[in-house]
Structure 1
């Protein structure tokens, strides 16, 4: 089994990680300062939480069924299934207990 290591750069809006095929790069969108300020302003002004119909809680580790992953409820069924399959197949990268957080004092 291969361990997952990643390098994230918020400045460049990308993540690099090693796969069996080589280094993979995921590029995101860079936020402009005015967009960041707008997002920050929304966080400072609490709004009423959206209804629970917007999200779905999914168990990806049966050994920790009380801990769930939250995903958008309106995802297409095939995408939701593939996402859940990906999360379940990589459940070992999540810290399920404090003991799983190695090298953190």
Structure 2
């Protein structure tokens, strides 16, 4: 019986920690584009990147081709777009758990 209570306690503690971590990750609006073509980052071909607080990070968790043709007139290689993202910076990369490309703003 003590073992069951101990296991239950550990499970609840781990679950609470995971929930706290998820709540800490808020959606933020960032610039998204091809790191090489738009943000002048060094890399090996066109790769999705985001700019957060003035610093650019290549993205893990989604790809440049998952959001349309990167080389279209409104694609990531030709334009910097806004995206709503949830994730965290790990090392020099942004690990995304949610990525939603926002509609382009109408030009006046």
Q: Same fold (TM over 0.5)?
A: no
The answer to which structure has the higher strand fraction is 2
The answer to which structure has the higher helix fraction is 1
TM-score w.r.t. length of structure 2: 0.22
Higher RCO structure, 1 or 2 (CA under 8 Å, sep 6+): 2
TM-score w.r.t. length of structure 1: 0.22
